[in-house]
Structure 1
Amino acid sequence: MNAPARLARLAAPAAAACAALALAAGPASAATTTVRQDTATGAPYAGNWQISTVGTLNFSTSFLGMNVTGTCDSAQMQGTTTSAGAGELTAASIGACHTSNGFSSPATALDLGGVSDRSGQISYDPVQGGRDGVIAIGGDLRITLKGQVLGLTVTCIYGFRTGGADGLTFDVYNRDNPNRPLPDDDLQGKSDAIQLVRESGSSSVCPSSGTGSGAAIGRGESTPGSGVFDRKLYLTS
């Protein structure tokens, strides 16, 4: 499967990221949101951020009666945020992808030139014994899978939904949360409930849906504008 992804129409989902990694309007919460530097008592953080997956992005679907699993080596997103969690997506890429039936794709940088709405929000929305918040990546994030079937090229285009809303939604865990999905000492995001939905332009033999999962870490810049993402982040009310 050839899996270059395209981003377009980033509209705020009702309900993201990881992640990873790598992050549009999140679910409503009664709590306020503050993105902080380093710790729960750190100064509010506003500036550039980067979200990078740790490990692979995983997906599965049923293709012509067979269970097909796949992985993408990585994904990365960059953007800006206010200390209240509102921000904008500025760049995104996805690593090489491989599937259990021998399809593959090269690493791809996503063209955001035609995206009219790149707004975003990280929301503080803690669950006892679980996450600390939610991050949502909305709109038309797509993955295009191509491969040979009986000598013919088949193209399958999938969008993403999480919790019934367009886009990706990830639970967020602070760096000291014992329930965080990764051992890394970083702000983290994870989702096991990503749904792949077939979109127009796909071949009729493409499965109508699939599932995906992934985890990522998020960081800011210690030196604004440096492009070096070494600042630990922390989410509070």
Structure 2
Amino acid sequence: MKLRSILPASALAACAVLGMAATAASAASTTVRQDTATGAPYSGNWQVSTVGPVTFGITFFGQKITGTCDTANLKGTLASTGEGALTAASIGACTTSNGLSSPPTDLGDLPDNTGHVTYAPVAGGRDGTLTIDGDLTFTLEGDFLFAHRTCHYGIRTNGTSTLTFDLYNRDNPNRPLPNDDAQGKTTNLTLVKLTGSDGLCPNNGTLNASAIARGETTPNSGTFDRKLYLTS
């Protein structure tokens, strides 16, 4: 199996993770801050890293095939208004329940994505959302049923060509991870088999990941130790 381009899994992953460009509406109501709800606005480099494996499931002849991938990492730039860009993405080795595998991969050929991060708290749940717009794909390759198969999947959120995460602040008791960090969790994410896939490729499935997001205390240092916080 080979993962060719899942973005940002975070996540991509990321995965997935996280090329952000805020719309005018989100820019007016969303602020990314340093450390806490009262911290200074943050602009600079960011990194999103999954905690625990990226997991996915696809259906093959009525049977569910499950898979896991090691940590995915996404890097980019970010303005305090939520505008930003994805500059690099990678994912670790992957294995599936039917014996396929792939080595660690740099996710090249990243789509030209835009998106928006929005402060949109829900009682007993998230603090906001992150949506990446674009035709993001997930490709598996392997030998089965006496031939080499290539299978292409599109990432969809509620039937649209987007990758959406619920965002949680570091002090939100409903955050998916115990880590003291801003973090995200994939939401209603599906994999849709695309034209060009081998006829015997597994059908549509799901993808899941949780990740933490950090900025830099020292700009352009490459050390991602700055905690982040999302507010209005």
2:171 is matched with: 176
Distance 1:46-1:29 versus aligned 2 partners, 3 A rule = closer
Distance 1:193-1:59 versus aligned 2 partners, 3 A rule = same
Distance 1:6-1:130 versus aligned 2 partners, 3 A rule = closer
Whether contact under 8 Å (1:55, 1:74) holds in the other structure is yes
Residue 102 (1) aligns with residue 99 (2): yes
Tell me: higher relative CO, structure 1 or 2? Use CA pairs within 8 A at least 6 residues apart.
1
The CA deviation at 1:206 is 1.5
Residue 45 (1) aligns with residue 42 (2): yes
How high is the sequence identity, in percent, across the aligned residues?
A: 59
Distance across 2 between alignment mates of 1:167 and 1:194: 9
Residue 187 (1) aligns with residue 157 (2): no
Of the three residues 48, 71, 74, the one matched with 1:74 is 71
Distance 1:159-1:26 versus aligned 2 partners, 3 A rule = farther
- String of CA shifts for 1:178-219, please: whole Å, max 9, x gaps: 000000000000025210011122101123311111100000
Whether contact under 8 Å (1:160, 1:167) holds in the other structure is yes
1:205 is matched with: 200
Whether contact under 8 Å (1:20, 1:217) holds in the other structure is no
The amino acid of 2:183's aligned partner reads Q
The amino acid of 1:59's aligned partner reads F
Distance across 2 between alignment mates of 1:195 and 1:6: 12
Of the three residues 204, 207, 232, the one matched with 2:227 is 232
Whether contact under 8 Å (1:186, 1:232) holds in the other structure is yes
Instruction: Structure 1 unaligned segments of length 5 or more: list them.
Output: 11-15
User: Between Structure 1 and Structure 2, how many residues are aligned?
Assistant: 228
1:13 is matched with: none
Instruction: Structure 2 unaligned segments of length 5 or more: list them.
Output: none
Distance across 2 between alignment mates of 1:84 and 1:195: 29
1:93 is matched with: 90
The CA deviation at 1:52 is 0.5
State TM-score, norm by structure 2: 0.90
Distance 1:124-1:146 versus aligned 2 partners, 3 A rule = same
1:127 is matched with: 122
Whether contact under 8 Å (2:181, 2:212) holds in the other structure is yes
Whether contact under 8 Å (1:4, 1:94) holds in the other structure is no
1:142 is matched with: 137
State TM-score, norm by structure 1: 0.88
The CA deviation at 1:131 is 0.2
The amino acid of 1:168's aligned partner reads L
Say which SS state the counterpart of residue 126 (structure 2) adopts. Answer: coil
2:30 is matched with: 33
2:62 is matched with: 65
Of the three residues 108, 111, 119, the one matched with 1:111 is 108
The CA deviation at 1:74 is 1.7
Whether contact under 8 Å (2:94, 2:104) holds in the other structure is yes
Say which SS state the counterpart of residue 131 (structure 1) adopts. Answer: coil
The amino acid of 1:197's aligned partner reads V
The amino acid of 2:228's aligned partner reads L
1:3 is matched with: 3
